[in-house]
Protein backbone atom coordinates (compact mmCIF):
# COMPACT_ATOMS: atom_id res chain seq x y z
CA UNK A 1 0.00 0.00 0.00
CA UNK A 2 1.31 3.46 -0.86
CA UNK A 3 0.28 6.87 0.42
CA UNK A 4 2.11 10.04 -0.54
CA UNK A 5 5.64 9.60 0.83
CA UNK A 6 4.74 6.38 2.67
CA UNK A 7 5.13 2.68 1.96
CA UNK A 8 3.37 0.09 4.12
CA UNK A 9 4.78 -3.40 4.74
CA UNK A 10 2.33 -6.31 4.45
CA UNK A 11 2.04 -6.74 8.24
CA UNK A 12 1.20 -3.04 8.67
CA UNK A 13 -1.52 -3.34 6.01
CA UNK A 14 -3.03 -6.33 7.84
CA UNK A 15 -3.05 -4.47 11.17
CA UNK A 16 -4.68 -1.40 9.59
CA UNK A 17 -7.44 -3.62 8.19
CA UNK A 18 -8.04 -5.16 11.64
CA UNK A 19 -8.20 -1.92 13.65
CA UNK A 20 -11.50 -1.75 15.55
CA UNK A 21 -12.93 1.52 14.16
CA UNK A 22 -12.48 4.21 11.53
CA UNK A 23 -11.40 6.48 14.39
CA UNK A 24 -8.55 4.07 15.19
CA UNK A 25 -7.40 4.03 11.55
CA UNK A 26 -7.59 7.83 11.48
CA UNK A 27 -5.45 8.08 14.65
CA UNK A 28 -2.80 5.79 13.16
CA UNK A 29 -2.75 7.68 9.85
CA UNK A 30 -2.50 11.04 11.64
CA UNK A 31 0.53 9.80 13.60
CA UNK A 32 2.09 8.44 10.41
CA UNK A 33 1.59 11.79 8.66
CA UNK A 34 3.07 13.64 11.66
CA UNK A 35 6.14 11.39 11.54
CA UNK A 36 6.41 11.79 7.77
CA UNK A 37 6.90 15.53 8.27
CA UNK A 38 10.03 14.94 10.41
CA UNK A 39 11.01 11.24 10.45
CA UNK A 40 14.27 11.79 12.34
CA UNK A 41 12.56 13.39 15.36
CA UNK A 42 11.59 9.97 16.73
CA UNK A 43 13.97 7.54 18.47
CA UNK A 44 16.14 5.04 16.62
CA UNK A 45 15.49 1.57 18.13
CA UNK A 46 17.61 -0.66 15.90
CA UNK A 47 19.64 -3.44 17.45
CA UNK A 48 23.35 -2.72 18.03
CA UNK A 49 25.31 -3.50 14.89
CA UNK A 50 22.27 -3.28 12.60
CA UNK A 51 22.75 -1.19 9.50
CA UNK A 52 19.02 -0.75 8.83
CA UNK A 53 17.60 2.29 10.61
CA UNK A 54 14.40 1.51 12.52
CA UNK A 55 12.52 4.17 14.45
CA UNK A 56 9.40 4.10 16.64
CA UNK A 57 6.65 6.65 17.12
CA UNK A 58 3.91 6.59 19.76
CA UNK A 59 0.45 8.14 19.82
CA UNK A 60 -2.25 8.02 22.49
CA UNK A 61 -3.35 4.46 21.62
CA UNK A 62 -1.09 3.46 18.77
CA UNK A 63 2.55 3.03 17.85
CA UNK A 64 4.46 2.04 14.77
CA UNK A 65 7.95 1.18 13.59
CA UNK A 66 9.30 2.69 10.41
CA UNK A 67 12.39 3.24 8.32
CA UNK A 68 13.06 6.68 6.80
CA UNK A 69 14.00 6.65 3.08
CA UNK A 70 14.95 9.82 1.17
CA UNK A 71 11.93 11.94 2.05
CA UNK A 72 9.55 9.00 2.59
CA UNK A 73 8.91 6.49 5.35
CA UNK A 74 8.42 2.73 5.17
CA UNK A 75 5.87 1.67 7.80
CA UNK A 76 7.01 -1.72 9.03
CA UNK A 77 4.71 -2.56 11.92
CA UNK A 78 1.70 -0.97 13.65
CA UNK A 79 0.37 -1.62 17.14
CA UNK A 80 -2.89 -0.63 18.83
CA UNK A 81 -3.87 -0.60 22.52
CA UNK A 82 -7.58 -0.82 23.33
Q: Are 19 and 25 in contact (CB under 8 A)?
A: yes
pLDDT digits (tens, 9 = 90+) for 56-80: 999 999 999 999 987 789 999 999 9
User: What gap in Å lies between CA 64 and CA 20, rounded to an integer?
Assistant: 16
Model confidence, pTM: 0.83
pLDDT of residue 4: 53
Q: What is the mean pLDDT of residues 18-45?
A: 92
**6 against 15, higher pLDDT:** 15
DSSP H helical ranges for the chain: 10-18, 22-37
First and final CA of the chain: distance in angstroms? 25
| pLDDT-based confidence at residue 2 (cuts at 50, 70, 90) | very low
Residue 3 has pLDDT above 60, yes or no: no
Amino acid sequence: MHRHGMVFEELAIEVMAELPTDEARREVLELIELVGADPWAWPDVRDPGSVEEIREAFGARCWFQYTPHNGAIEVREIGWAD
